[in-house]
Amino acid sequence: MKDTNVLMDVVIVGGGPAGLSAALLLGRSCRLVVVIDEGKARNSVTYESHGYLTRDGVKPSDFKEIAIAQMKAYTNVHIEQDVVEQVKQEQGIFRTLTRGGHTFSSKKIIFATGMKDHLPSIPGLTEVYGTSVFPCPYCDGWERRNEPLAVIGNDERLFHFVKMIYSWSKDLIVLTNGPSTITGEERREMEAHHIKMIETEILILKSNEGKLDEIVFSDGQSIPCKGGFLLDTGAKQATLIPSTMGIPMNETGGYVTTSDYGHTAIEGVYIIGDAKNSFTGVVGAAREGYYIGELMNKDLIEEEWDAHRTHANRHPGLS
């Protein structure tokens, strides 16, 4: 998009399922929209996405390519590969400045920037993450059902996470990579379900082309292992720009919104997807994008209608 002097209806920061879904609905509502996306998706390590009707098993990059190709039918929607570095609000208009030196002006702005993972510093984890060790059983549990699995993690959520993974496979071993936070009662319940726990520090995850083979511990012992689930990926906000605008984060690291649909305390600023929820999933993110697109268009309709009525009252005969 060459002409950045045009006042857009909406700037969308982030081109994942949430941002593109919002862009599609707003585009079909005859709105001028620009999507600014860095092109470094959180799920780029994922081979398949699941749980989305008609797209179950699709590769995330293919999903995005299909979405962008379909968006080309809407000449009022522009997609820019760039990085947003600053957003200013001046007299009710948002000025979005990018690393590429562009400034986009808009009536409203959506942050659909998601989260970025910061994996635990376990040697070998990066090599298997997304291939044989995963964060979400709803995304990858079916493919690992009934297999012997390692559950890696250690905080107050661990026991609940173990119970969840147990519904996909009863053959579990829990690796806390140090003294566990599991309570005595939780430990007894796990033992009653024949779930073993190892608290020794993990030395390395050995693998071949991303496929986990063996887990070696600091005391020299090792266990064969072909797959597992990671409790905590260290996910953090992909951008802190909303916080510089005065939007706080909640205790789970998601930005605080004033409604389930992404409205914030700043009029005209919306946050959707993982940036709001920490983890949404493809179908959940797309759903939020659709809903916020619809609500935002309704807001714009009311604002334009009222503005025309005010103008007509002040200048009778000119409307």
239 and 112 share one domain: yes
Look over the chain and give the mean of its residue pLDDT values, rounded to a whole number: 91
Q: pLDDT, tens digit, for every residue of 298-317?
A: 999 999 998 776 655 666 65
Domain termination residue (choose one: 179, 202, 230): 230
In contact, 76 and 8? CB cutoff 8 Å = no
Element (H, E) at 25: helix 17-28
Asked if residue 1 is part of any domain, the answer here is: no
Query: Is the confidence at residue 193, as pLDDT, over 80?
Result: yes
Give the pTM: 0.89
Q: Which of 12, 67, 18 is nearest to 273 (CA)?
A: 18
The CA distances from residue 255 to 88, 240, 258, in Å, are 18, 10, 10
Asked if residue 254 is part of any domain, the answer here is: yes
Please tell me the total count of domains within the chain: 2
102 and 23 share one domain: yes
Asked if residue 182 is part of any domain, the answer here is: yes
Domain termination residue (choose one: 204, 230, 256): 230
105 and 241 share one domain: yes
Asked if residue 143 is part of any domain, the answer here is: yes
Q: pLDDT, tens digit, for every residue of 272-289?
A: 999 998 878 888 889 999
Question: To the nearest whole percent, how much of the chain has pLDDT over 70?
Answer: 94
Give the CATH number for residue 37.
3.50.50.60
For residue 133, how far is the Cα from the chain centroid? 18
The runs of H, that is alpha helices, within 86-216 are: 125-128, 137-140, 158-166, 184-192
Residue 2: which pLDDT band, with cuts at 50, 70 and 90?
Answer: low
Q: DSSP string covering 53-110, please?
A: TT-TTB-HHHHHHHHHHHHTT-TTEEEEE--EEEEEEETTEEEEEETTS-EEEEEEEE
Q: pLDDT, tens digit, for every residue of 11-59?
A: 999 999 999 999 999 999 999 999 999 988 766 667 778 878 788 888 8
220 and 192 share one domain: yes
Asked if residue 129 is part of any domain, the answer here is: yes
Domain that includes residue 12, residue range? 7-117+234-314
Query: Is the confidence at residue 65, as pLDDT, over 80?
Result: yes
Domain termination residue (choose one: 197, 230, 263): 230
214 and 271 share one domain: no
Q: How far apart (Å, rounded) are the C-alpha atoms in residues 48 and 5?
A: 40
Asked if residue 2 is part of any domain, the answer here is: no
